[in-house]
Structure 1
Amino acid sequence: MKHGKKYTEAAKAVDRATLYDPADAISMVKKLAIAKFDETIEVHIRTGCDGRHADQQIRGAVVLPHGTGKKVRVLVFAKGAKADEALAAGAEYVGAEELLPKIQNDGWLDFDVVVATPDMMGVVGRLGRVLGPKGLMPNPKAGTVTMDVTKAVNDIKAGKIEYRLDKTNIVHVPIGKASFTEEQLADNFQTLIGAINKAKPSAVKGQYLRSVTVAPTMGPGVRINPVKLA
């Protein structure tokens, strides 16, 4: 993959052979974010899990203390009083069966997170083919299938992020924007790592956190010493 001049210049500042302390890595990544927009700072965690086994899956959610810096649009599938509750909590879109054709046929996906009350999962299940591949399917483990829609919406708006293993046993999550202070990014990073460590499946043997890299959207990654995070 060919990188542009800016990326190549920025990459020279990173010693690929060094495993940095979290604080040093975050400080470097802020300097490496040189795009004209406010880049997202992402963390990529390669685990020792084997996601092909159900007892080695990682999936959950955590509220980052300083949020992600992104405005999150929430769609809630609910009826009656629960629908009113979702709107009062600040959900952008609330509905039921009438939303199916809009999403299935018209390709409407102007939302970032989907929440559903348990009684609506039969309806939402029919959208599995559309929402599943985009990681938008509500899930009890992530707190997005719940009767407490007020808490769900509030948490998401406050900076709740979902983490899960991808096919290569890596977790990819945002921890904020380049405009955040180093302290804010460090707080968010430590909160995320705490949640990932807590979520360690008991079936995983050997080193759990194999590699941890923090990177801006358009810039090179900085590797963090995973031994310091256990």
Structure 2
Amino acid sequence: MADSKEKNRKFVETIELQIGLKNYDPQKDKRFSGSVKLPHIPRPKMKICMLGDAQHVEEAEKIGLDWMDVEALKKLNKNKKLVKKLAKKYHAFLASEAVIKQIPRLLGPGLNKAGKFPTLVTHQETLESKVNESKAMVKFQLKKVLCMGVAVGNVSMEEKQIFQNVQLSVNFLVSLLKKNWQNVRCLYLKSTMGKSYRVF
């Protein structure tokens, strides 16, 4: 963190928790996936898009959130390239009840494949609270390789906040593993441009 302050980067660096696993065979063992909400938002600038009905589109405009309505989604015409581009542009998606059911029909499996299927937002909750909740979520997903990384903070946060986020993330990940800590080979913390530090 001191490094980042000294070098005065032009952006707030994200701190990533990098995990190496052992005694795990992605071919045979169950590939796990799970999300957990962190106490502090790791990436305040995380890009989110609302796939909304009229009411949610109006709410999104009020809080300066990018949005698309059903008409805009129809225009993508299930084009794989366009859907992939959309998935790349945002970290996460939210969707109204009326829209979420239509996503597979409107967009095909693209968002799902990218691991970015939208989170449901009802009209009983405020869009702003849902956006903040999404920003605080981290997802652990084992694919074909035995390493993964999740954002757990940024260099402008207090050390205590980063510690709380890291602690919760690690404990949650360990709970997903077959043999818990015995499956953890190493843990590193690394800021976007900084060196990585081994913590386990």
* Same fold by TM-score greater than 0.5: yes
Partners of 2:131 and 2:176 in 1: CA distance:
23
The 8 Å contact of residues 68 and 177 in structure 1, kept in 2 or not, is answered as yes
Kindly state the Cα deviation for residue 69 of structure 1 after the two structures are TM-superposed.
3.6
The 8 Å contact of residues 87 and 93 in structure 1, kept in 2 or not, is answered as yes
Q: 1:218 and 2:198 equivalent?
A: no
Aligned to 1:73: 47
Q: What's the RMSD between the two structures over aligned residues?
A: 3.4
Q: 1:112 and 2:86 equivalent?
A: no
Partners of 1:123 and 1:215 in 2: CA distance:
39
Q: 1:31 and 2:2 equivalent?
A: yes
Partners of 2:17 and 2:9 in 1: CA distance:
21
- Judged with a 3 Å threshold, the aligned counterparts in structure 2 of structure 1 residues 152 and 195 are, in CA distance, closer, same or farther, namely farther
What is the letter of the counterpart of residue 159 of structure 2? E
- Specify the SS of the correspondent of 1:51: coil
Percent of residue pairs bearing the same amino acid type? 23
- Specify the SS of the correspondent of 2:171: helix
* Superposition map of 1:8-27 within 5 A: none
TM-score calculated relative to the size of structure 2 = 0.71
Aligned to 2:148: 171
**Which deviates more, 113-122 or 189-198?**
113-122
Q: 1:194 and 2:199 equivalent?
A: no
- Specify the SS of the correspondent of 2:90: coil
What is the letter of the counterpart of residue 73 of structure 1? K
Report how many residues are paired: 186
Partners of 2:166 and 2:158 in 1: CA distance:
12
Partners of 2:180 and 2:137 in 1: CA distance:
29
TM-score calculated relative to the size of structure 1 = 0.63
Structure 2: runs of 5 or more not aligned: none
Partners of 2:152 and 2:96 in 1: CA distance:
28
Q: Which structure features the higher share of strand residues?
A: 2
Structure 1: runs of 5 or more not aligned: 1-29, 139-143, 226-230
Report Cα offsets for 1:149-207 as digits up to 9, x if no partner: 756434114x222221242122211111122221121111111112212222x4x5882
What is the letter of the counterpart of residue 107 of structure 2? L
Partners of 2:146 and 2:138 in 1: CA distance:
18
| 2:102 equivalent among 118, 123, 139 | 123
Kindly state the Cα deviation for residue 119 of structure 1 after the two structures are TM-superposed.
6.1
Kindly state the Cα deviation for residue 41 of structure 1 after the two structures are TM-superposed.
0.9
